[in-house]
Amino acid sequence: MREWKGRDQGSSTAGMSHLAEAAKIYKVRQGFHIKKDRVQEYGRFLDQLSEKYKQLTAEITLKESTPKTAPTHEWFQWDNSLAAKEYRLTQARSLMRAIIVVQMINGEEVEARQFYNVSVREIEDGDSIPTENGLYISSGKVLSDTELRSRLLERARLEALAWRRRYAQLTELSKVFEIIDSL
């Protein structure tokens, strides 16, 4: 496995101990698609960038991933026409997530998402709709359909558990963790 040392190949890993680096185990978060044999190299590379720049930003990561010799080069779409389409799809998803609706619930105005991204196998009349990223369905339809509502509740539970794992080191949140663990 090659060792990446930053844009100028002669730089060190900014004081990072090779022993500590070798002992660190990286994994992929659920929902992300990174080949298992690449995770360690990507993790080490990002750690090295963080040490080198004393911070890590998308701009730094992209800049340092541009050379074909960078371990993360393959992660990016370098065909600009394909990248432009993917970016516009990301913008479309962002737009659908950005819209909220104000509803009256128990006499109070409550803001909620207008569209939910739901993984759908069947929709109206049992028609099967295969989707890779799910569909965006109006909140009214999701909340009134038993199956879609059930899927949304399960997703909320899984997101709460993911949030709990993300902040597990913050012992000040132990009471919140207990509630999440009871779900």
HEC readout, 51-102:
HHHCCCCHHHHHHHHCCCCCCCHHHCCCCHHHHHHHHHHHHHHHHHHHCEEE
Task: Specify whether 30 is located in the same domain as 119.
Answer: no
Kind plus residue range of the DSSP H or E element containing 121? none
Other CB atoms within a 10 A radius of the CB of residue 48 amount to: 22
Residue 4 lies in a domain: no
Of 75, 91, 122, which one is at a domain's C-terminal end? 75
Q: Which domain holds residue 132?
A: 80-181
In this structure, are residues 23 and 44 in contact, taking their beta carbons and an 8 Å threshold? Answer: no
Q: Would 153 be classed as within a structural domain?
A: yes
pTM score of the predicted model = 0.62
pLDDT number for residue 96: 87
The list of the chain residues with pLDDT below 70 reads: 1-22, 119-134
Residue 37 is predicted with a pLDDT of 87
Same domain, 166 and 94: yes
Residue type, 29: R
Distance of alpha carbon 161 from the chain centroid: 15
Domain count within the chain: 2
Q: Give 49-53's long-range contacts (Cβ < 8 A, gap of 24+).
A: 49/6, 51/13, 51/14, 51/15, 51/16, 52/6, 52/11, 52/13, 52/14
Does residue 63 lie within any of the structural domains?
yes
Q: Domain check: are 96 and 123 in the same one?
A: yes
Does 86 lie in the same domain as 45?
no
Determine the pLDDT at residue 68.
96
